[in-house]
């Protein structure tokens, strides 16, 4: 079976804090009259499965193809679905809620869904944009719990200014929030387990959004090592047990060879070109697109213009 480079139909999510940068900056064909906060580029969750839009697998989901060719795609024997990554673009026109995702140990304790580690690559950021990432040194569970009651929990978080080109790692157990005016790529484990701590007293359809304070307090790592919260801008951006992310920049009219052996997910941040091989039709790529290369695929990336991309492996 020729497992050519796979492209997917984005899954758009209308959210209270969404904006229009997915359309205006990344060229997404999403509704201009709605607050689209997320574009899920590659997903294999129970209610959201990415659909292939090119080649002979057109119309099938990533789940369909992975079930048929697990080892050919992933390069791993006895690979068990779902697909091991969830790739998104996120447009935060307004502040996201203060939240946390649990680790594997907390998942067992709470008897809830899967753990979630993630990273954020900053594609675009308005002046003075920031994120919240982790607690300030010495903050205890008791102090944080009281600050939730007082509506001041954001004051106890690390407020981190962001710049285009930064990649921020957020291991499970890190309390965090994306601030307004930021467009990011989020690479994460395939989970949507999120416990909200604080949502700025916003209303949605006339009602406050649900909070999960008890679960969040169980999930937050109050003794977190600050060294876990890395910020990288080049080379190997992320290196965790769940996934690895590398950043590449390529000049126009150049070529990179793609070797077989490891499955790769390529996220195009800037630029365009095509992927070619002896066994498949050329597959074009452009800014804002995500492409899956199976472990068996080998060929070349040809760059029509200066290109910046992220390459993720399991």
**Dihedral in degrees, nearest 10, Cα atoms 209, 210, 213, 219:** -100
67: three-class secondary structure by DSSP: helix
Contact, 44 vs 83, CB < 8 A? Answer: yes
Catalytic member of 23, 196, 202, 236: 196
Bridge partners of 157, per DSSP, are 135
Q: How many CB atoms lie within 10 A of CB 23?
A: 18
Spatial separation of the C-alpha atoms in residues 299 and 256, rounded to whole Å:
9
Instruction: Of 41, 80, 88, 39, give the one whose Cα is nearest residue 63.
Output: 80
Is 196 catalytic? The answer is: yes
Q: Estimate the share of the chain in helix, then strand, then coil, as percent rounded to the nearest 5.
A: 15, 40, 45
Strands 195-198 and 130-135: unpaired
Distance CA 253, CA 138 (A): 52
Asked whether the beta carbons of 297 and 277 are under 8 A apart, the reply is: yes
Integer Cα distance of 142 and 51 in angstroms? 46
Q: Where are the alpha helices (DSSP H) in the chain?
A: 21-24, 62-68, 70-74, 104-110, 141-150, 213-219
308 touches 271 (CB < 8 A): yes
**Tokens at 206, concatenated:** 């006339």
Task: Indicate which residues carry an active-site annotation.
Answer: 196
């Amino acid at each position: 079976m020729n497992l050519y480079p796979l492209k997917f139909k984005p899954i758009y999510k209308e959210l209270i804090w969404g904006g229009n940068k997915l359309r205006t900056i990344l060229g997404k064909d999403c509704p201009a009259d709605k607050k689209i906060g997320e574009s899920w580029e590659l997903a294999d969750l129970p209610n959201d499965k990415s659909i292939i839009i090119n080649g002979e697998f057109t119309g099938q989901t990533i789940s369909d193809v992975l079930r048929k060719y697990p080892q050919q795609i992933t390069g791993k024997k006895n690979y068990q679905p779902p697909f091991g990554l969830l790739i998104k673009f996120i447009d935060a026109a307004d502040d996201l809620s203060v939240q946390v995702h649990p680790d594997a140990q907390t998942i067992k304790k709470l008897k809830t869904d899967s753990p979630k580690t993630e990273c954020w690559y900053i594609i675009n950021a308005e002046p003075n944009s920031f994120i919240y990432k982790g607690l300030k040194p010495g903050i205890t569970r008791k102090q944080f719990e009281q600050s939730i009651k007082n509506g001041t929990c954001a004051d106890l978080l690390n407020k981190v200014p962001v710049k285009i080109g930064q990649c921020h790692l957020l291991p499970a157990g890190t309390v965090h929030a994306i601030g307004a005016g930021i467009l990011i790529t989020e690479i994460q484990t395939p989970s949507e387990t999120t416990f909200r701590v604080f949502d700025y007293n916003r209303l949605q359809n006339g009602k406050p959004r649900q909070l999960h304070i008890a679960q969040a307090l169980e999930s937050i790592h109050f003794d977190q090592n600050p060294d876990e919260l890395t910020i990288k801008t080049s080379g190997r951006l992320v290196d965790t047990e769940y996934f690895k992310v590398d950043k590449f920049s390529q000049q126009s009219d150049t070529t990179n060879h793609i070797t077989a052996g490891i499955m790769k997910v390529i996220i195009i941040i800037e630029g365009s070109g095509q992927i070619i091989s002896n066994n498949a039709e050329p597959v074009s790529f452009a800014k804002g697109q995500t492409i899956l290369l199976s472990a068996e695929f080998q060929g070349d990336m040809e760059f029509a213009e200066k290109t910046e991309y992220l390459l993720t492996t399991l």
